[in-house]
Amino acid sequence: MPHLLTLDGMPRERILALLDRAQLFAEGHDLRGSLAGTAVCTLFFEPSTRTRMSFHLAAQRLGADVLNFDASTSSTRKGETALDTLRNLEAMGVRGFVVRHSEDGAVAALARRVRPGTALINAGDGRSAHPTQGLLDMLTLRQAKGDAFERLTVLIVGDVRHSRVARSDLHALRTLGAGEIRVCGPQALLPDDGTLAGCAVSHDLDAALDGVDVVMMLRLQRERMEEGLVSSLEDYHRTYGLTAQRLRRAKPDAVVMHPGPINRGVEITDEVADGPQSLILRQVHNGVAVRMAVLESLLG
């Protein structure tokens, strides 16, 4: 596989192999150096903290030379296209590109135009896919709950319509055989394009939380939202915010995840985000290991 564009259709064995390798990296095994002499560029046309920094660290830990492309100070400001930018970096010898773009399908479109031997990793395109987030979420879930995904009831809450994270999580959860997948959010923020096939859909968060093992909260993607989809943040929090009181409806050992960045006090309270059931910083920690596994598998 020359690129990583989506988890849709990725075989279970490949997902598990990446998670196994990432687990070794997460445990600190000394597996460095496999990308010595390889140049990797993080090519982000949208903001990022976690994905960009963790890819940078992951590539460095594997011994790669890492270039950080900053769109705001680049020649894209003079009108240079993403494809020309990528081709110029390819000409300098860059072999791996970690690309984030606001348009659905933009990374796949670039991948069709690169040289043989160049690898692209989708670091989030529009609402479509964020495959390394999906993988790091599965690694985090596996560490917390074990391999038996079929025993888990997983609830995804919030703005699924605009979320590439939710789509990649759904692809991975289905492939790994999650027992039950519930989705909860306001009608206006749930997709009607088949994304939720097979999920139990609800608009009542209290009912949806009953007996779940895992709660995956999503950020309100206001940058991708039409005006008026959410009446007010206070209303949203009242109806769909995860509070400590609400979380008591889940199983006592339920875990809470969120891909970040968090809108504190909107989709989740401080008490839950920073509480004992939260895996949010564990997700971030695992992001480095998963990205090491992905870079190694494509470029090593």
Q: Is 251 assigned to a binding site?
A: no
Binder among 6, 38, 51, 128 for ligand CP (CB under 6 A): 51
Q: How far is the CB of 259 from ligand CP (least distance, A)?
A: 4
The secondary structure of 122-136 as a DSSP string is EEEETTTB-HHHHHH
Answer yes or no whether residue 88 interacts with ligand CP by CB under 6 A.
Answer: no
Ranges within 153-182 binding ligand CP (CB under 6 A): none
d(CA 120, CA 227): 34
- Kindly write out the interface string for residues 107-146 of this chain, putting x where it contacts ligand CP by CB under 6 A and - elsewhere: -----------------x--------x-------------
127 within 8 A of 224, measured Cβ to Cβ = yes
- Kindly write out the interface string for residues 251-270 of this chain, putting x where it contacts ligand CP by CB under 6 A and - elsewhere: --------xxx---------
End-to-end CA distance of the chain: give it in Å, rounded: 13
Binder among 23, 34, 48, 76 for ligand CP (CB under 6 A): 48
Q: Is 260 assigned to a binding site?
A: yes
Q: How far is the CB of 40 from ligand CP (least distance, A)?
A: 16
Nearest to 131 by CA among 298, 292, 290: 290
**Alpha-carbon torsion, ordered 288, 293, 298, 300, to 10 deg:** 100
Q: Is 127 assigned to a binding site?
A: no
Q: In this structure, which amino acid lies at residue 151?
A: R
Nearest to 190 by CA among 163, 168, 214, 171: 163
Length of the chain: 300
- For ligand CP, the binding residues (CB under 6 A) are 48-52, 124, 133, 259-261
**Binding site for L-aspartate: residue ranges?**
78, 164, 219
**Binding site for carbamoyl phosphate: residue ranges?**
50-51, 100, 130, 133, 260-261
